[in-house]
Amino acid sequence: MNTKKGLLPVLILIAAPLIYAAYIYPTLPDRIPIHFNWKGEADGWGGPDSIFIAPGILGAVSLLVYFLLTNLKSIDPIRYQKANDEIKHKLLTNIYGQFHEVLMISTQLSL
């Protein structure tokens, strides 16, 4: 399986929210809400640098999951089934990619 071919879309999905955060960073106030209670009221505050925390953590987790999925057969060769590798990889990558995008968009829209 060509993992370099699949890595480019993952890197683009990770970079997009970080680029957007860098784009809006100069317009952010000195104090921004970073946490909300169940009523929707802000109860946690941070500086403008805190806008990079969520995309950074999600990007790191995304890369970890991507490398685990693409190297599954070397991690657990006994349970690896060669016939289902491509189907499982595409399915899991698509599901994870869509979940990641929804999560990143909702994070950016909540700002």
Task: For 46-93, write each residue's pLDDT tens digit.
Answer: 999 999 988 899 889 888 888 887 887 777 666 666 546 677 777 777
SS3 at position 30:
coil
Q: What is the pTM of this model?
A: 0.61
Measured between alpha carbons, how far is 23 from 20 in angstroms, rounded to an integer? Answer: 5
Q: How far is CA 92 from CA 21, 40, 49, 76, in A?
A: 27, 33, 32, 17
Measured between alpha carbons, how far is 35 from 42 in angstroms, rounded to an integer? Answer: 6
- What pLDDT, in 10s, does the model give residues 22-52? 999 999 999 999 888 888 898 989 999 999 9
Instruction: Identify the pLDDT of residue 80.
Output: 61
Select the more confidently predicted residue: 99 or 52: 52
Confidence of residue 1 (pLDDT cuts 50, 70, 90): very low
Pairing of strands 42-46, 32-36: antiparallel
